[in-house]
Structure 1
Amino acid sequence: MTPTTTGEAIAARADEVWKVYGSGEARVVALRGVSASFGQGRFTAIMGPSGSGKSTLMHCLAGLDTVDRGSVHIGGTQVSGLGDKALTRLRRDRVGFIFQQFNLLPTLSAAENIRLPLDIAGRKPDPQWWDVVIDTVGLRDRLSHRPSQLSGGQQQRVACARALVARPDVIFADEPTGNLDSRSGAEVLSFLRASVREHRQTIVMVTHDPVAASYADRVVFLADGEIVDELHDPTAETVLDTMKRLDTYGEPVMI
């Protein structure tokens, strides 16, 4: 099946994407002709059993991994086939990343970590947007602190602000609450939800947590490298029910 976001501008999409790892007896088909569209200004979660291909799909969408067949687009730009320099520019200027590991530089303050992608690109933050982002993450009184002086939840909010401050076309979040306790995780998810609702940010998040997925507008489910279901306006209960059904699927088939 092909999830669509009818009537919306598309921030990212995959068209008939195949991804294979290894060869011979170790050959694993991670994605099998996956097509999916992710609407602009929407929060989409990608879920599935272990080995379903959810992280592979996100990495292909973000240009962190290549596709073997099919194509990937960010907005109107085809990512698959871009040269190294063009791909680096696209990831730097149009894509934001949030990972399970916060990936903050320990010698820099929170403010310096947030500005880092702009500094690397030789760009200045827009002062008005900077204030919006800082107030949204609620860390104005912690900007001079280094990561070691911040809680895990605060560090991840710094990472979220870093992804948002460059105003990317889309933010990809890979298990962003995986290293956080439930309270800190809820803070981060509330921030991501607010960035979509109030600032029209586009977020695509891989998660295994039904509660995290319930913050999204839509959940896309993968199993055995294929999209097998989706939910709109999910709740933790409806996500959990769907995941229980998908547990009958196994790991990607070795062929």
Structure 2
Amino acid sequence: MTTAVSIPRTGGSGGRTAVAARARQVVKAYGTGETRVLALDNVDADIERGRFTAIMGPSGSGKSTLMHCLAGLDTVTSGQIFLDETEITGLKDKKLTRLRRDRVGFIFQAFNLLPTLNALENITLPMDIAGRKPDKPWLDRVVETVGLADRLKHRPTELSGGQQQRVAVARALAARPEIIFGDEPTGNLDSRSGAEVLGFLRRSVDELGQTIVMVTHDPVAAAYADRALYLADGRIVDDMANPTSEKVLDRMLSLSGEAPAVSGRAS
């Protein structure tokens, strides 16, 4: 078991409470008639800018669906999703693709690195595809924040799993997106590597002013966040400020009736 440490949560917003993304009366349904399943049931949620938010809940609670809808990776059945003041529900595919590319960053359980490129080339790849030059001072700061300065010329096969995920974190940060979504970003890592990556995510909020939303099952991972939103049966049932692993574990137990794994990795 990984022991949660006390982590300062100053946030990167300088006390601002501006909203980076929000959901309004969002419904996501699959199927029709008797087979209709409500993954999200009239959800309202505000994601504060410059803060680290964990989305939690039992399997099938709708937590990944909410993240995918907020990120524009999935459509809603009804309701509205906003990124800053831009409503993304109803955007045409081309505009939505451009918005995700220019304003949103993603970190997934799978590292999604190209094996033929070195770490630096993987980090800058999305900007290269978009025809944009990296902001070198910012890129240097990101690389320093995630501890990759001495690994930039290494290809993925020459990096550990934790280092590969740090490349993925740097890739998400490098384009200075308004918000980063992480779908169980430490799920493929051992507890030590997972703690390192979570520490870098925490630093990116505190030192770089980033806004991060992370789906996780793991109470230890959630303890790095400023806030934990809990879903059950497609609805938000709790909103916990300054979560600790113990408080999160107790809340998860009350929601699911069974203990989640507390291993320092998202399961």
TM-score > 0.5 by shorter chain: yes
What letter matches 1:223 in structure 2?
A
Partner in structure 1 of residue 262 of structure 2: none
Alignment of 1:72-87 (within 5 A): 72-87=81-96
Which of 52, 55, 79 is the equivalent residue of 1:70? 79
CA–CA separation in structure 2 for the residues paired with 1:93 and 1:123 = 10
Partner in structure 1 of residue 103 of structure 2: 94
Partner in structure 2 of residue 205 of structure 1: 214
CA–CA separation in structure 2 for the residues paired with 1:176 and 1:132 = 21
State, as a whole percentage, how many aligned pairs show the same letter.
Answer: 70
1:104 partner SS: coil
Q: Aligned-pair distance for 1:155?
A: 0.3
Note if 1:174 corresponds to 2:146: no
Note if 1:23 corresponds to 2:10: no
Q: Aligned-pair distance for 1:26?
A: 2.7
Q: Aligned-pair distance for 1:24?
A: 3.2
Q: Aligned-pair distance for 1:203?
A: 0.1
CA–CA separation in structure 2 for the residues paired with 1:118 and 1:75 = 22
What letter matches 1:15 in structure 2?
R
Q: Aligned-pair distance for 1:120?
A: 1.0
2:238 partner SS: strand
Which of 42, 45, 50 is the equivalent residue of 2:51? 42
Q: Is the 8 A contact 2:16 2:49 kept in 1?
A: no
TM-score after normalising by structure 1: 0.94
1:105 partner SS: coil
1:140 partner SS: coil
> CA 1:243/1:115 → structure 2, altered by over 3 Å: closer, same or farther?
same
Note if 1:194 corresponds to 2:203: yes
Q: Is the 8 A contact 2:216 2:222 kept in 1?
A: yes
Q: Aligned-pair distance for 1:27?
A: 1.8
TM-score after normalising by structure 2: 0.90
Note if 1:147 corresponds to 2:128: no
Q: Deviations over 1:161-196 (max 9, x none)?
A: 000000000000000000000000000000000000
CA–CA separation in structure 2 for the residues paired with 1:230 and 1:87 = 29
Note if 1:59 corresponds to 2:68: yes
Q: Aligned-pair distance for 1:248?
A: 4.6
CA–CA separation in structure 2 for the residues paired with 1:96 and 1:62 = 9
Partner in structure 2 of residue 247 of structure 1: 256
What letter matches 2:252 in structure 1?
M
CA–CA separation in structure 2 for the residues paired with 1:235 and 1:220 = 13
What letter matches 1:66 in structure 2?
T
Q: Aligned-pair distance for 1:9?
A: 0.6
> CA 1:241/1:64 → structure 2, altered by over 3 Å: closer, same or farther?
same
Note if 1:184 corresponds to 2:193: yes
Uncovered stretches (5+) of structure 2, i.e. residues with no partner: 1-14, 259-267
CA RMSD of aligned residues (A): 1.2
Partner in structure 2 of residue 252 of structure 1: none
Dislocated runs of 4+, deviation >2 Å:
23-26
Q: Deviations over 1:7-49 (max 9, x none)?
A: 6110011001000012234321100000000000000000000
Note if 1:164 corresponds to 2:164: no
Note if 1:219 corresponds to 2:210: no
Uncovered stretches (5+) of structure 1, i.e. residues with no partner: 1-5, 250-255
